[in-house]
Amino acid sequence: MTKIIGIISFKGGVGKTISVINIGAALSKLNKKVLVVDANFLSPTLHIYLGLLNPDITLREAIRNNILPEDAIYEHKSGLNVMPCNFYKDADLEKFKKIIDYVKEKYDYVIVDSGPSYSEEILGVLMVADEMIFITTPDYPTLTTTLRAAELVKQKKLPIIGIIVNKKRKKSYELTSKDIERTTSLPVISEINDDHKIMISVSKFNSIINQYPRNKNSKNYLRIAKEIIGDEEEIKKLSNELKKIGLS
Ligand SMILES: Nc1ncnc2c1ncn2[C@@H]1O[C@H](COP(=O)(O)OP(=O)(O)OP(=O)(O)O)[C@@H](O)[C@H]1O
Ligand SMILES: [Mg+2]
């Protein structure tokens, strides 16, 4: 059965889109069929990170024009499937849900990117997601917004996989993951370092997982993907396969 994972934060620039791309790429590396969807309707950028600069047909056109949703899906060179979006004000969220319900059948996982505030984009993600992952950076202002997001998701009774602490610099002024877990009562599933290799990968329209498979952050994204898959037997089998090719 397909699992739909929503990636959210109530703050811009913390790394939602980078997380969507890399979790998607990591699940693909583990032989899962993955679609990444841009539900950041007011400021969509997912496609740009993946080198799709000006797609004419996107989620917006699929919602508005009754075209086939498949026509709004593109394949990245890594094999990851992408449903981009053009700027879309007052998105029809009911129709958005119908489209996701229709396209999800072909995938093991659908990872949904979202906008940075409590607005229509977040509501869209909450409508379609089976499980949520929060992205935060290790500082008080961002953690405050993560707390608000967590409260909202808990109110909606949606399962939460946990929090990814992104852009860690390992400085003494940063919040620790223990601080973040204590404050939110949620598990931190991974720490991702602030890493120029992520920026280099962006400049090459690629995920760090595919650009630098042996990088520490790439391995962390693989661990996140394994945690998402969650089936111990399957993880063992896949880890052995990855070891054989030197990736685990
Ligand atoms: N771990 C990291 N190390 C270095 N750079 C990063 C990291 N994570 C994200 N970035 C960079 O930070 C910037 C913001 O990341 P991203 O676009 O993923 O954030 P976002 O939460 O999706 O933002 P928005 O809310 O505006 O959509 C990008 O330039 C991205 O390449
Ligand atoms: Mg984004």
Mean pLDDT of all residues in the chain? 93
Q: Exposed/middle/buried for 127, CB within 10 Å: 0-12, 13-18, 19+?
A: middle
Report the Cα 108 to chain-centroid distance in Å: 14
Residue 45 CA, closest ligand 1 atom number: 27
| Among 8, 17, 205, residue to substitute to test ligand 1 (most atoms within 8 Å of Cβ) | 17
CB 189 within 8 A of CB 214: no
pLDDT at 117: 82
pLDDT tens string 180-222: 999 999 999 999 999 999 999 999 999 999 999 999 999 999 9
Say which ligand is closest to the CA of 168: 1
Q: Ligand 1, atom 23: nearest CA belongs to which residue? A: 13
| Six token digits for residue 81 | 């499937």
- What pLDDT does 122 receive? 86
4 φ/ψ angles, rounded to the nearest 5 degrees:
-105, 125
Verify whether ligand 1 is closer than 6 Å to residue 210 (CB atom). no
Is residue 199 lining ligand 1, measured as CB closer than 6 Å?
Answer: yes
Q: Which two tokens stand for residue 147?
A: 């707390």
Q: What ligand 1 atom has the least distance to the C-alpha of 43?
A: 27
Question: Which of 8, 11, 18, 133 gets mutated to test ligand 1 (max ligand atoms within 8 A of its CB)?
Answer: 18
CATH 3.40.50.300 corresponds to the domain 3-235? yes
φ, ψ dihedrals at 190, nearest 5°: -165, 155
Q: Quick check: 179 and 186 in contact, CB under 8 A?
A: no
Residue 5 has a pLDDT of 98
Q: Which pLDDT value is given to residue 118?
A: 80
Asked if residue 167 has its Cβ within 6 Å of ligand 1, the reply is yes
pLDDT tens-digit profile of 221-230?
Answer: 999 999 999 9
- Distance in Å, CA 176 to ligand 2 centroid: 24
Query: Which whole number is the average pLDDT over 169-183?
Result: 97
pLDDT at 205: 98
pLDDT in tens, 74-128: 999 999 999 999 999 999 999 999 999 999 999 999 999 999 988 777 889 999 9
Neighbours of 229 (CB within 10 A): 18
- Residue 112 corresponds to which tokens in the numbers above? 């949904």
Reported as type and span, the H/E element at residue 101 is: helix 93-103
Residue 162 has pLDDT above 90, yes or no: yes
Q: Cβ(241)–Cβ(30) under 8 Å?
A: no
Alpha-carbon gap, residue 219 to 45, rounded angstroms: 25
Domain ranges for the chain: 3-235
Please state the rounded mean pLDDT for residues 23-44. 97
What's at 195, amino acid-wise?
D
Contact 85 CB / ligand 1 (< 6 Å): no
Three-class SS of 43-67? CCCHHHHCCCCCCCCCHHHHHHHCC
- Give, using CA atoms, the residue closest to atom 2 of ligand 1: 194
Position in ligand 1 atom list of the atom nearest CA 116: 25
Q: Is the CB of 93 under 6 A from ligand 1?
A: no
